[in-house]
Amino acid sequence: MTTETEVRIFETPKKVYKAIAKEIVKHAQKTNQPRFDIALSGGNSPKGLFKKMSKKYRDLIPWDRIHFWWGDERCVSPHDAESNYKMTVDYLLSKINIPKENIHRIKGERSPVEEAQRYSEEITLNLNSRNEIPVFDLIILGMGGDGHTASIFPNQMELLNSDKICEVALHPNSGQKRITLSGRVINNANRIFFLVTGENKAIRISEIMNDTDAAKQLPAYHIAANSGRLIWFLDDAAASKI
């Protein structure tokens, strides 16, 4: 599989969600593989996508073959408003009929170091590898206004090249502990979809798309599907300064 990067720009966030949902339907329906492993992003951006997947496209997605993972999680209880898992339950998992064994939650309530190790082992047990690195079929990423992605923040760029599968990260402002996939695992995915919408992301998107010196300080800039396909799904607002 060749390394390709593509940028798709849509008028509204809803059209971004629809485009990503259709891609998930297309790839998940391929019957040449027994399962389709997707790592989800957290935050707010995926909420609209999850709504699309749980309503308009619900009957087109073979849920019994889909395995959900997370690209990162806050080290909080699964019932905490901050939990990416809770957000996914609220907007998607509570609305679809998916086998519970297909849900691979990061246990944010556990000791971060121990859970990073446990989750890494669960990933290794379930996924194929390429170059001895686990391969996700699809990783969906958001991007923060500071250019972070997953929970790899600009002041922790070393997590991009960590030789671990999962790392413990610290939110630079709140100090909140997080568990994140390392950049090496993210970049090893077959497909990476960035879901970025809103005016507040426009400056960073402009820096990244114009390959500026400032971009090189941003974790999101260093995401590249080394042996797969990277597609940026943007709305007009996020793309307005390219």
Q: Which residues are at the interface with ligand 6PG (CB under 6 A)?
A: 41-45, 71-72, 84, 142-144, 148-151
Shortest distance in whole angstroms from residue 146 CB to ligand 6PG: 8
Comparison of 65 and 201: residue with beta carbon closer to ligand 6PG: 201
Supply φ then ψ for residue 30, to 5 degrees.
Answer: -65, 125
| Residue 237 neighbours by CB distance under 10 Å | 18
Shortest distance in whole angstroms from residue 156 CB to ligand 6PG: 13
Shortest distance in whole angstroms from residue 201 CB to ligand 6PG: 7
**Parallel/antiparallel/unpaired status of strands 177-181 and 66-70:** unpaired
Structure tokens at 220: 């999101």
Comparison of 47 and 164: residue with beta carbon closer to ligand 6PG: 47
Residue 68 · residue 33 · CB < 8 Å: no
**For tokens 């001895």, what's the residue?**
132
Supply φ then ψ for residue 85, to 5 degrees.
Answer: -65, -45
Shortest distance in whole angstroms from residue 74 CB to ligand 6PG: 6
Shortest distance in whole angstroms from residue 31 CB to ligand 6PG: 30
Shortest distance in whole angstroms from residue 145 CB to ligand 6PG: 7
Nearest partner of 28 among 49, 47, 56, 53, judged by Cα: 53
Comparison of 71 and 134: residue with beta carbon closer to ligand 6PG: 71
Instruction: Classify residue 135 by its DSSP letter.
Output: -
Residue nearest to ligand 6PG (CB): 142
Distance of CA 201 to the CA centre of its chain: 17
Kind plus residue range of the DSSP H or E element containing 119:
helix 112-126
Comparison of 65 and 230: residue with beta carbon closer to ligand 6PG: 230
Comparison of 65 and 115: residue with beta carbon closer to ligand 6PG: 115
Q: Which residues contact 130 (CB under 8 A, 6 or more apart)?
A: 188, 227
Comparison of 65 and 106: residue with beta carbon closer to ligand 6PG: 106
Beta bridge pairs of residue 129: 134
